[in-house]
Amino acid sequence: MDYAKTSQHSRRSRKAPATPPPTISDPMAAGLQGSINYLTSRISSSMTSAVDKASITWAQAIQVLDSQDRSFPKELRAYIRMSIAENIGFADVYVRTSDQEERLAYAELYQLRFGVGVSHSE
């Protein structure tokens, strides 16, 4: 009897058979994939909605500045335009303020607090 062959054979036979990884049943996988797809869709649509809302707000603020607030001093108008482009919060408040004098006061106060320059009211 060949002892070396018997020893090698016994080593091979001692290995436990590889067990397959646990599997998820088809209905469970379909449900999980459905949930992932739903959440991905909701996140994607909410991000698109936020971008769309910001674009609309910026466009409205520029439209108010160009149509209703043309009498504001040129330098202040430039500052307002820059503030609208850089800060959606500023643009939102600017659009929602219906009184022109109040918009002017808001823009000047914003400029004094955050911007460079002095107030342009007369």
pLDDT (tens digit per residue) in 67-96? 999 999 999 999 999 999 999 999 999 999
Write down the pLDDT at residue 34: 77
The verdict on residue 101 lying in a domain is yes
Write down the pLDDT at residue 17: 62
- pLDDT range class, residue 121, cuts 50, 70, 90: very low
Q: Which has more confidence, 30 or 40?
A: 40
The range of the structural domain enclosing residue 88 comes to 54-117
Q: Which has more confidence, 120 or 48?
A: 48
- Mean pLDDT for all residues in the chain: 80
Give the span between the Cα atoms of 41 and 88, in whole angstroms: 25
Write down the pLDDT at residue 22: 57
Cα atoms in the Cβ-side hemisphere of radius 13 Å centred on 61: 28
The verdict on residue 81 lying in a domain is yes
The verdict on residue 38 lying in a domain is no
DSSP helix/strand/coil, 115 = coil
The verdict on residue 122 lying in a domain is no
Tokens 């009498």 correspond to: 71
Lowest mean pLDDT among 4-8, 48-52, 77-81, 84-88: 4-8
Write down the pLDDT at residue 20: 64
- pLDDT range class, residue 118, cuts 50, 70, 90: very low
The verdict on residue 85 lying in a domain is yes
Domain count, the chain: 1
Taking the CA atoms of the chain, what radius of gyration do you get in angstroms? 34
